[in-house]
Amino acid sequence: MPLLDEQDKINSNLNGWVSTHQIIPYPPGIPVLVPGQMITQGIIQYLISRLPSQKRIEVHGIVYDDYLPCLGLLTTAEEKSLSQFDRL
């Protein structure tokens, strides 16, 4: 799902979804998202703020659909299929 909507604003539809990728801005190299983590508005804002500065910061794990930066998400069916133990 794209980080930005059609008006290049934060895609609020991402809020509450579960990430399937590890997202790491480098430097510093500390993961912002790990697989299974719920995506929040703050995480989305942070990632978007890092994208324009790609000359100095690389954001590993972002998937691009043409030019749109996107995040990999669990589908509703995949999330429902997880056991309660997997959700901890």
DSSP-assigned states of every residue in 7-66? TSSB-GGGTT-BB-S-BEEETTT--SB-TTPBP-HHHHHHHHHHGGGTTT-EEET-EEET
- Residues 20 and 37 sit within 8 Å (Cβ to Cβ): no
For 15-64, the pLDDT digits (tens) are 999 999 999 998 889 999 999 899 999 999 999 888 766 567 888 999 88
72: pLDDT confidence band, cut at 50, 70 and 90? very high
Counting Cα atoms < 13 Å in the Cβ hemisphere of 7 gives 4
Peptide bond into 27 cis (omega under 30): yes
Residue 35's pLDDT is what? 92
CATH number 3.90.105.10 is the correct assignment for the domain at 12-81: yes
* Domain spans of the chain, in order of start: 12-81
Is the per-residue pLDDT at 66 higher than 90? no
Question: Whole-prediction pTM value?
Answer: 0.78
Residue 28's pLDDT is what? 87
